[in-house]
């Protein structure tokens, strides 16, 4: 499941990382200061996010700046949108069914 965006977002620490980096690009060290875990643990989370392209990197000297990549987030958004759409279709069908039932009862 490597590179799976759903898997990446499942972890609460990684979601927090996404929110932080979406607000402002950051280095792993700067990022790690926001968490109680070790730098390496944060680094591993970054790797997971970078593997599925939710983060992009820009090397500046010995520092690496990580940026949020909204493109891949849309993949995630897409699933949810499709799901909602599909469910709403069914909801509309249910509405229609209720309308038809009412019409029939009017005829009787």
Partner DNA sequence: GAAATATGCAACTTAATGGTTGCAAATATA
Partner DNA sequence: TATATTTGCAACCATTAAGTTGCATATTTC
Site residues (vs DNA, CB under 7 A): 1-2, 7, 10-11, 13, 27-30, 37-41, 43-48, 57, 60-64
* Residue 95, token pair as written in the block: 């509405």
The entry of a copy of itself, DNA, none that residue 44 binds, CB within 5 to 8 Å by partner kind: DNA
Q: Which of 39, 41, 45 is nearest to 18 (CA)?
A: 45
Q: d(Cα 42, Cα 18) in Å, to the nearest integer?
A: 12
Q: Which is nearer to a copy of itself, 39 or 75 (CB)?
A: 75
Rounded Cα gap, residues 71 and 41, in angstroms? 25
Binding site for a copy of itself (CB under 8 A): 1, 4, 6-7, 9-12, 15, 18-19, 22-23, 68, 70, 73, 76-77, 79-80, 83-84, 86-87, 90
């Amino acid at each position: 499941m490597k590179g799976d965006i759903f898997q990446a977002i499942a972890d609460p620490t990684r979601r927090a990382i996404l929110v932080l980096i979406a607000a402002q690009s950051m280095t792993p060290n700067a990022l790690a200061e926001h968490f109680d875990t070790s730098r390496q643990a944060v680094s591993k989370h970054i790797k997971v996010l970078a593997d599925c392209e939710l983060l992009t990197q820009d090397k500046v000297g010995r520092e690496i700046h990580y940026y949020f990549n909204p493109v891949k987030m849309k993949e995630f958004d897409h699933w949810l949108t499709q799901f909602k759409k599909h469910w709403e279709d069914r909801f509309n069908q249910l509405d229609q069914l209720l309308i038809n039932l009412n019409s029939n009862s009017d005829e009787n």
